[in-house]
Amino acid sequence: MSWRILLCHKHPVSARLHFLVPLRAGVVLPQPLPELSVFAEARSSDLVQAHPASALRHLQECLGIGHTLELVSEFQVGMEVPGMTLPVYLAALPGHDLCPAPTDTRWIELSKSIGMPWLDRELLRRAYEVLIG
C-alpha cells in the first residue's frame, strides 16, 4: 500500500483523545511502516497527492467500522521509505463514543505510548499537536 493512516477519536465536548493502534506493532493502519522509515523533508514535489478518500474507505472496510471516517486535512506527514515518499493521513472517527476496537487493535491515549519506539510516539505527538493545539 502506498499510504498509511493514523486513526483517532476526539470527544467533541471533553476533547479526550484516543488513537486506534495495532496490537502487533506500530501506530499506523492497515500495515506498519516499512523498516528504515524516516520523516520526509517537505518539498514542492511532495505537494501533489491523490485524495485519500479511497484509502479511508478501504481502511473502514478492512476494520469493519460502521461510521464514516473523516480526514483531518491539517495533518501533513510524509515518510521516506526505500524508493518513495509514503503519505501518512490522519483520520478521525466522529461522534461522542468510541466504537469497539476491531480485531487486533486497541484504543490508547497518548500517555500509553510511553515505551513505544520514538518514530511511533512522534507520529502520535504530531497528530496530537494538530488536533489539540
Helix (H) or strand (E) holding 78: strand 77-81
* End-to-end C-alpha distance for the chain, whole angstroms: 30
User: What confidence tier does 2 reach under pLDDT thresholds 50, 70, 90?
Assistant: confident
Helix (H) or strand (E) holding 129: helix 118-132
Q: What is the pLDDT of residues 78-123, one digit of tens each?
A: 999 988 899 999 999 998 988 899 999 999 999 999 999 999 999 9
In this structure, what are the phi and psi dihedrals at residue 53, rounded to the nearest 5 degrees?
-55, -45
Q: Could you tell me the three cell numbers for 116? A: 513505544
Q: What is the pLDDT of residues 13-57, one digit of tens each?
A: 887 999 999 998 899 999 999 988 999 986 545 445 667 888 889
User: What is the SS3 assignment for 87?
Assistant: strand
CATH of the domain at 52: 3.90.79
pLDDT at 4 over 50: yes
Q: Model pTM?
A: 0.89
pLDDT value of position 54 = 86
Number of domains in the chain: 1
- Domain range for 29: 4-132
CA distances from 10 to 17, 22, 33, 70 (A): 5, 18, 24, 12
pLDDT at 67 over 70: yes
